[in-house]
Amino acid sequence: MADLNEKTFLGLSRWMAPLRRFGDRWLGGWVGRLTPETRRETTDWAADADWAQLQQEPLRARALLRLAVLLVLLLLIWAALAQVDEVARGEGKVVPTRQVQVIQSVDGGVVDEILVREGQVVELGQVLLRVDPTRFKSNLGESRASQLALQAKALRLKALTRGGAFNPSDELMRDAPDIVAHERRLYESKRDEISTQVSMAQNQLSQRQQELNEVRARKAQAEQGLASLQKELNATRPLVRTGAVSEVEVLKLEREQSRLRGDRDQASAQISRVQASISEAQRRIEEVQLNARNLMSAELSETMSRLSALNEGDRALADKVAKADIKSPVRGTIKRLLVNTVGGVVQPGKEVVEVVPLDEALILEAQITPRDIAFLRPGLKATVKFTAYDFAIYGGLDAVVENISADSVVDQKGNAFYLVRLRTDKALLDDKLPIIPGMVAQVDILTGKKSVLSYLLKPVLRAKANALSER
């Protein structure tokens, strides 16, 4: 027992010696002034005894002491230089990036096929439910036939209006050969009718022109006869005075002159009438062509209006046929099937399926206490640890702060917090573990870096700031 006490005393002496030297060096003078003479003598004796014993210790003990001091210094330097993450923690929950998609049947009808089940993951554009499109296809077929008929009719009217040939497209001839043949017959019939009317008017014009030529010839002949007769009269009148020619001959010549003059005047008047008839015949030709063109143009305008309206209706019917296949507007999970009976009737506008969107990224709403909100801003990186998957095994997801609520929210328990929205870079863990809306997670938002030493001194500094300030 005595040997054990001696060893204990020697060990304590080794550890206390540096502290005593430090105290003697820095505090010895002050303590000496405050210590009575007798006490100082006792202290000097004890210090001398320790110094004497320290001088007798082996070198290995000194080396150990110096190594311990060096390690402490190295630890302090490491604590001052080493950086650790400073995070703001909060509880979060996965929320859909978009609200639940409620899909409706636009036009309703009889349910022909249900292609999905609740809980199934569907892709964008995947057919979920099919409504019987027979009624819509029938209406579309009728509309299409009417549209082809109007197209052929419009081509016929354009050809007649412009005086061109009737040349329907290959597509029109393939889709509606009977309609094209019927319109071709109508085109030829109308063209022949117009040609007949124009030909009749042209024949009348030709007759009037021929009549005009004949009248002009008679007038020219009468004028020529008058000129010759006038010369003959001029030569005969002097002979009457000499008695070489009787006066009766002169009278005959004057009577013939009057007749020729009448023929000339009659021909001149007839020329005016024939020219008027020619103008009338020309107007008749133009009128036939103009009336036919105006009639065709009016019918063409009406046809094009009906065709335009039919095209709009055709698009509406085609849309109804297309929307008989009810498709998913997003990639997501079927939440509820509101129609379960094949052959049942769905009313127009009725809700049929609910889909929860699944995106390549997740949105989390985290609750952050007001004391940490001052250090948060959009763009900060974060780590999301889902409670459903062990973080030590599966890890977490990287995320970025997207939005911070403008004001705090108070829950039913009276706790105030800010809502912080974060977006992850992917929606799966290990590319196979799904994350679904509603999952709870711990969110660690990286707000900065700090040294280990500052972390260790933080309680001391806080205590120093609050010390000696109590009432």
Split at pLDDT 50, 70, 90, the class of 120 is confident
In this predicted model, what pLDDT tens digit does every residue of 426-437 receive, in sequence order?
Answer: 777 776 777 777
Split at pLDDT 50, 70, 90, the class of 134 is confident
pLDDT for residue 381 is more than 70:
yes
Q: Are residues 207 and 308 in the same domain?
A: yes
- Residue among 156, 122, 174, 123 at smallest CA distance from 335: 122
Split at pLDDT 50, 70, 90, the class of 332 is confident
Split at pLDDT 50, 70, 90, the class of 45 is low
Which tokens hold the place of 128? 């979920």
Query: What CATH number did the domain enclosing 92 receive?
Result: 2.40.30.170
Q: Are residues 148 and 50 in the same domain?
A: no
- Residue among 421, 431, 437 at smallest CA distance from 386: 437
CB 106 within 8 A of CB 349: yes
Q: DSSP for 203-238?
A: HHHHHHHHHHHHHHHHHHHHHHHHHHHHHHHHHHHH
Q: Are residues 154 and 255 in the same domain?
A: yes
- Say what the pLDDT of residue 363 is: 85
pLDDT for residue 205 is more than 50:
yes
Percent of the chain whose predicted confidence (pLDDT) is above 70: 78
Of the candidates 322, 348, 377, which is a domain's last residue? 322
CB 233 within 8 A of CB 253: yes
- Is pLDDT larger for residue 173 or for residue 403? 403
Residue 425 lies in a domain: yes
Q: Are residues 305 and 218 in the same domain?
A: yes
Can you tell me the mean pLDDT for 331-340?
Answer: 85
pLDDT for residue 251 is more than 60:
yes
In this predicted model, what pLDDT tens digit does every residue of 294-321 receive, in sequence order?
Answer: 787 787 788 888 887 777 777 777 777 7
Can you tell me the mean pLDDT for 323-327?
Answer: 84
Residue 60 lies in a domain: yes
Percent of the chain whose predicted confidence (pLDDT) is above 90: 3
Q: Are residues 17 and 123 in the same domain?
A: no
- Say what the pLDDT of residue 424 is: 86
Split at pLDDT 50, 70, 90, the class of 61 is low
- Say what the pLDDT of residue 52 is: 58
Residue 471 lies in a domain: no
- Say what the pLDDT of residue 375 is: 84
Q: Compute the distance between CA of residue 457 and CA of residue 438 in angstroms, rounded to an integer.
A: 40
pLDDT for residue 31 is more than 50:
no
Residue 288 lies in a domain: yes
Give the CA distances from residue 62 to residues 5, 12, 18, in Å, rounded to whole numbers and listed in that order.
22, 14, 10
Residue 43 lies in a domain: yes
pLDDT for residue 38 is more than 50:
no
Residue 38 lies in a domain: yes
Q: Are residues 266 and 180 in the same domain?
A: yes
Using DSSP, state whether 247 is helix, strand or coil.
Answer: helix
pLDDT for residue 96 is more than 80:
no
Q: Are residues 25 and 66 in the same domain?
A: yes
- Residue among 73, 81, 86 at smallest CA distance from 451: 81
Q: How far is CA 467 from the centre of its chain?
A: 63
In this predicted model, what pLDDT tens digit does every residue of 16-30 receive, in sequence order?
Answer: 555 555 555 554 454
Q: Compute the distance between CA of residue 213 and CA of residue 228 in angstroms, rounded to an integer.
A: 23
Q: Are residues 433 and 341 in the same domain?
A: no
Split at pLDDT 50, 70, 90, the class of 165 is confident
Q: Which residues pair with 86 in a beta bridge?
A: 448
- Residue among 439, 422, 466, 392 at smallest CA distance from 88: 422
Using DSSP, state whether 177 is helix, strand or coil.
Answer: helix
Q: Are residues 141 and 273 in the same domain?
A: yes
Q: How far is CA 342 from the centre of its chain?
A: 34
Domain range for 385:
85-97+359-466
Q: Are residues 222 and 122 in the same domain?
A: no
Please report the sign of the dihedral spanned by the C-alpha atoms of residue 121, residue 123, residue 124, residue 125: negative
- Say what the pLDDT of residue 55 is: 57
Q: Are residues 170 and 294 in the same domain?
A: yes
Of the candidates 356, 380, 407, which is a domain's last residue? 356
Query: What CATH number did the domain enclosing 343 receive?
Result: 2.40.50.100
Q: Are residues 318 and 329 in the same domain?
A: no
Q: Compute the distance between CA of residue 396 and CA of residue 380 in angstroms, rounded to an integer.
A: 16
Split at pLDDT 50, 70, 90, the class of 190 is confident
Residue 173 lies in a domain: yes
Q: DSSP for 400-437?
A: EEEEE-SS-EE-TTS-EEEEEEEEES-SEETTTEE--T
Using DSSP, state whether 92 is helix, strand or coil.
Answer: strand
Residue 153 lies in a domain: yes
In this predicted model, what pLDDT tens digit does every residue of 258-277 receive, in sequence order?
Answer: 777 777 777 777 777 777 77
pLDDT for residue 394 is more than 80:
yes
